[in-house]
Structure 1
Amino acid sequence: MYENVCKYLDVHGIGRDIRNIDVDLVRKYISWLLKDYVQFKEHKFKPDYSKKKGLSPTTTNDYLKTLRTFFRFLFEENKIDENPYEVVNSVKHTDTEIVVLSVEELKALLDAPDKRSYTGFRDYVLMTLLIDTMTRINEALSLKISDINFSNYTVTVRASIAKNRKAQPL
């Protein structure tokens, strides 16, 4: 996040000095993130089709939240006279509607694996785990036998594999 601010300052010929950051610059930075910033531009393993221009409003707001916190700290420690992020609002966005499978589609999906084969049954079990627990695929694939309590039929997603870094009993 901080490297993006530095990248913006460098691209626009603005010195990397905290005193150069004001409300107007923050608003221009937000506009640059939304319209001109190229995701994964210098990433050598990402294909060109994934290097799109502009960040989503949600990602931009995540960047702003971090910078807002940093500048609040600088202001409270008397390192800066005013916090330029204090008066800048987050980017407004509408949440996209999540399309949910119908009951028939879900049944068809669960009927797809051949439950008589090892791999088909494994896939069926994984699909039911994902549906029943709403875990992320990486969390489900990282589970160990010790995460499963067979006596009370619960699964615990360890903090080390959870996206939010909090253990979740399911």
Structure 2
Amino acid sequence: MIIDEYEKSSTFYYVVEGVISVEILNEGKRYISSFIFQNDFFGLDSFSTFKQKEHSIRVISEQATIFAISKEILLRLLNKEPDYYELLLTNFADIFQRHYGYFNFLHLPTTERIKHALHYLSDHIGLLTAAEHLELPTFITQEILSKFCRTSQSRVSVSLGELERAGWLLRKKVPITIN
């Protein structure tokens, strides 16, 4: 874990490699509200006027390299090199767009939600196999999918089985492979 729930950070971060999840606690359950991918920044809440935050940041990939920079140093750097403002704003706008897109599929039936999530994840972190299928990293598990899709692991398992029988998935177990 990088930042505990409710702990407001005074640090700004850049993901060199790895995948990070933003988790929220809702009715006693942890849900993934978004993912932070390679070349993304996070820590925007360090600029917030709110005293606390209601999410935690967790590394979910096997490895991650993350640079940290204090808010004060970042502000000095931005004042020296104003071109970096556009880089940061573009990156945060992209992260927000991905996050808003996530809410567009919460109303879908579970199997469609799982399919949409797998498609979304394969677009960002899928690996093309020699047979030209998309394979998700091994850290994308039923647990991760259940937190992201806001459903139970057993329902994820059933949905993955349905997608495999329909031919959309080649492999429903880790590493999940899309046909």
TM-score where L is the length of structure 2: 0.24
Higher relative contact order (CA 8 A, sep 6+): 2
Computing the radius of gyration from Cα coordinates, the structure with the larger value is 1
Which structure carries more strand by proportion? 2
Which structure carries more helix by proportion? 1
